[in-house]
Structure 1
Amino acid sequence: MAKYLLLKHYRGAPEAVNCVPMDQWTPEEIEAHMQYMRDFANRLEKSGEYVDGQALAPEGAWVRYDGEGRPPVTDGPFAETKDLIAGWMVIDVDSYERAVELAGELSAAPGAGGRPIHEWLELRPFLAFSPTITE
């Protein structure tokens, strides 16, 4: 088994098929999208492939170490930017091919008018280290 991160990006610039910015969706369309995500996660829980997932609020901040003791904080990310991380899901699957298959299915979540949005998902394997043998 290998763990993968499915990183869900909200893109303000319509690059996906049938992409209408989410701020223009009706409450019913947003609920249908969220229900699709819940149903997808529930199905993967039953198959043992689901590890965790969360939706993220559009608010946030940038923080970094400055060497002075108190890290500087700036506003952001901003909802009007081109690309915003909207959420993530961690899966544990038998193969890269299965991870791609599930990412493709998740990409079909409904958007405006109930049509699949065919959004791009970032698929990232977890870094795995081989155990070190010491004698």
Structure 2
Amino acid sequence: MAKYLLLKHYRGAPAAVNDVPMDQWTPEEVSAHLKYMDDFAKRLERDGEYVGGVALSPEGSFVRYDGEGRPPVTDGPFAETKDLIAGWMVIDVDSYERAVELAGELSAAPGAGGKPIHEWLELRPFLADHADTTE
């Protein structure tokens, strides 16, 4: 088994095949999208492939060490940016191919008009499990 991070990016500007930004979806479309994500996670949990996941708030801050013990904090990221990390899911699967299969399925979550959004998901192996991946 190898753990993978599925990193979900929200794109404020149209970038997916279904190019309606999420902030323009109806409440029903948002609910359908969230239900799809929840059902997907529940199925993986039942199958023993789900480790954890969470949706992230669009508000945040950037922090870095400044060398003097006072880390500067700046606003951002902002939901208006072109690319924002919207959430993540960790899966524990038998192979890289299975991780790709699940990422592809998650990419088909419904969006505007109930059509699949075909969003890009970042698929990253955990470093400790990296030797188990294939290219």
Shift of residue 129, structure 1, vs aligned partner: 7.0
Instruction: Find the counterpart in structure 2 of residue 133 from structure 1.
Output: none
1:89-111: CA deviation from partner (whole Å, max 9, x where unpaired): 00000000000000000000000
Q: How far apart, in 2, do the equivalents of 1:48 and 1:19 lie?
A: 33
Deviates more, 1:39-48 or 1:9-18: 9-18
Instruction: Find the counterpart in structure 1 of residue 32 from structure 2.
Output: 32
Instruction: Find the counterpart in structure 2 of residue 105 from structure 1.
Output: 105
Deviates more, 1:120-129 or 1:29-38: 120-129
1:59-92: CA deviation from partner (whole Å, max 9, x where unpaired): 0000000011121000000111110000000000
Q: Does the 8 A contact of 1:19 with 1:111 survive in 2? A: no
Q: Does structure 1 residue 41 correspond to structure 2 residue 37?
A: no
Q: How far apart, in 2, do the equivalents of 1:55 and 1:30 lie?
A: 13
Q: How does 1:38-117 map to 2 (within 5 A)?
A: 38-117=38-117
Shift of residue 13, structure 1, vs aligned partner: 2.0
Count of residue correspondences: 130
Which 4+ residue blocks in structure 1 deviate beyond 6 angstroms? none
How much identity, in percent, do the aligned residues show? 86
Structure 1 unaligned runs (5+)?
131-135
Amino acid at match of 2:114: G
Rg larger for: 1
Structure 2 unaligned runs (5+)?
131-135
Q: How far apart, in 1, do the equivalents of 2:106 and 2:120 lie?
A: 10
Q: How far apart, in 2, do the equivalents of 1:21 and 1:77 lie?
A: 17
Q: How far apart, in 1, do the equivalents of 2:8 and 2:21 lie?
A: 14
Q: Provide the secondary structure at the position in 2 that maps to 1:128.
A: helix
Shift of residue 7, structure 1, vs aligned partner: 0.1
Instruction: Find the counterpart in structure 1 of residue 8 from structure 2.
Output: 8
Amino acid at match of 2:10: Y
